[in-house]
Amino acid sequence: MSLRIEQDGRVCRITLAAPDKRNVFDAAMGSDFLHEWSDADADSNTGAILIEADGPVFCGGSDPASPPPPELFSIAARATKPVVVAVRGAAVSAGVALVANAHVAIAAQGATFGLTGVRDGRWDDAKFEAVAAAVGWRRALELALTGRIFSTQEALAWGLLHMVAPAFELDDRVTDVATKLANAPADFVCAALRARRIP
């Protein structure tokens, strides 16, 4: 099983659990993730969804031979529950697009990120649009054109991340944030998630 699902109070934890393949998304894993996320988002006993990963790499990308569905990279637009992401290690391609969908994204110091499709000549509108929504179109275009790896400090400065924590504090930090969001007034949270963006 490439995912692990655990209910922790009102927090649903979705863990990418394929560390032997660097938690790379293929079509099956992407479909499973969307199913589990959708169930958690609809569950009245869940107030927040926490996405994390086993192993030293958060997500090493997507399988070019069996890519995940593009809907994976637009969950923020459909969510009725806040999504928190905890990042250790690298988050590239599909990984960075998933981070960009978080309402709160927290990374361990030393994590790295990249929109790396240019390296093998693959363009993906859904991933680009997710990252552009987080960091701005011009910055996302530079990242996509160069495929360069960038740091936690850059990700924080550009708005991809909201917080950076020492690695030994990451679990406690994300659990605290997710628990507070899960226990916040549901009507307020729904209104906040549906608030119109100011141009």
Residue (of 172, 158, 54, 174) closest to 105 by Cα position: 174
CB neighbour class for 44 (10 Å; exposed up to 12, middle 13-18, buried from 19): exposed
- Show me where the domains of the chain are located: 3-171+181-193
pLDDT at 196: 61
User: Which pLDDT does position 160 carry in this prediction?
Assistant: 98
Give the C-alpha separation, 84 to 104, whole Å. Answer: 5
Tokens of 197: 């963006």
The predicted model scores a pTM of 0.95
Q: How far apart, in whole angstroms, are the C-alpha atoms of residue 8 and residue 22?
A: 25
CATH 3.40.50.2000, domain 3-171+181-193, yes or no: no
pLDDT of residue 1: 73
Q: Which of 28, 31, 29, 85 is nearest to 58 (CA)?
A: 85
pLDDT tens, N- to C-terminus, the chain (199 residues): 799 999 999 999 999 999 999 999 999 999 999 999 999 999 999 999 999 999 999 999 999 999 999 999 999 999 999 999 999 999 999 999 999 999 999 999 999 999 999 998 889 999 999 999 999 999 999 999 999 999 999 999 999 999 999 999 999 999 999 999 999 999 999 899 988 655 4
Q: Which residues, 6+ apart, have CB-to-CB distance to 57 below 8 Å? A: 19, 22, 23, 88, 89, 90
Q: Residue 195: what pLDDT?
A: 85
Residue 199: per-residue pLDDT: 45
